[in-house]
Amino acid sequence: MLKLHGYFRSSAAYRVRIALNLKGLAYENAFHHLTRGGGEHLRPDYVALNPQALVPALEDDGAVLTQSLAIIEYLEERFPEPALLPKDAVGRARVRAIALGIACEIHPLNNLRVLGYVTKELGHSDAERTKWYRHWIADGFKGIEGLLAGNPATGSFCHGDKPTLADCCLVPQVFNARRFDCDLTAFPTMVRIAEHAASLPAFAAAAPGKQPDAE
Ligand SMILES: N[C@@H](CCC(=O)N[C@@H](CS)C(=O)NCC(=O)O)C(=O)O
């Protein structure tokens, strides 16, 4: 059986949970609390599994996969239906661009270890850390909103009317932005898509609050 190493609040693990649910795949969980005891993901047994010491990781029949987008692309190849990438090359490139725009340009700047470095190593206050977080959300969301708003390829989801890899990334990032009370009024298309997606069982079941390790 597939085994997902994650943490309820990890937005990268949230992406993979959505993809697994959309494809109707059963999986077992291994939870790694990212702050308890200094971070369970930093323990030697987990680092042996994923040398980058990040969640998620996915085990499948002895193989260990890391990096959420690589994991979702793996699932797409191994379990093609329902597809999370469009059939046409231009559409696939657009979906990947939105996904990477979130996973590479926004998420890494606001990751736990980055936020921890800003306060613990550089000596900034919690208020300054929040300012940093909100700044990079606003900056990154502006670009993603620009990719989505007014583009005829955008539908009820990021690309057309079926969920894709892009939505697997968008929904967790909007969730996180809300958690940090970011002002999202300038990003109506992103908010609309995230709210529509949340109404689908596959997205709802992947939400942090629904996970067995949720606090
Ligand atoms: N690019 C990676 C990001 C993974 C990642 O940053 N995971 C976070 C949780 S969302 C993490 O494990 N953070 C631990 C830390 O910052 O120490 C992916 O997409 O899988």
Q: Is the CB of 10 under 6 A from ligand 1?
A: yes
Q: Structural domain of residue 167, as residue ranges?
A: 89-202
pLDDT digits (tens, 9 = 90+) for 80-90: 999 999 999 99
Residue 209 domain flag: no
Residue 210 domain flag: no
Boundary-marking domain end, from 34, 59, 82: 82
Taking the model in full, what pTM does it have? Answer: 0.98
CA distance 37 to 41: 10
Boundary-marking domain end, from 33, 58, 82: 82
Do 109 and 136 contact (CB within 8 A), yes or no?
yes
pLDDT digits (tens, 9 = 90+) for 142-189: 999 999 998 999 999 999 999 999 999 999 999 999 999 999 999 999
Residues 108 and 162 occupy one common structural domain: yes
Token pair for 63:
């193989």
Q: Is the CB of 34 under 6 A from ligand 1?
A: yes
Residues 40 and 96 occupy one common structural domain: no
Residues 78 and 94 occupy one common structural domain: no
Measured in angstroms, how far is the CA atom of residue 152 from the centroid of ligand 1?
A: 33
Residues 94 and 189 occupy one common structural domain: yes
CA distance 57 to 69: 11
Residue 214 domain flag: no
Residues 93 and 158 occupy one common structural domain: yes
- Which residue's CA is the closest to the ligand 1 atom numbered 1? 67
Residues 113 and 56 occupy one common structural domain: no
Please report, for the domain that includes residue 182, its CATH number. 1.20.1050.10
Do 45 and 32 contact (CB within 8 A), yes or no?
no
pLDDT of 201 reads 98
Residue 211 domain flag: no
Domain count across the chain? 2
Residue 213 domain flag: no
Residue 215 domain flag: no
Q: Is the CB of 198 under 6 A from ligand 1?
A: no
Q: Which of 16, 55, 69, 96 to mutate to test the pocket of ligand 1 (most atoms within 8 A of CB)?
A: 55
Residues 194 and 163 occupy one common structural domain: yes
Measured in angstroms, how far is the CA atom of residue 150 from the centroid of ligand 1?
A: 32
Boundary-marking domain end, from 54, 82, 110: 82
Is the dihedral angle over the CA atoms 181, 54, 205, 194 positive or is it negative?
Answer: positive
Token pair for 68:
């959420």
pLDDT digits (tens, 9 = 90+) for 95-130: 999 999 999 999 999 999 999 999 999 999 999 999
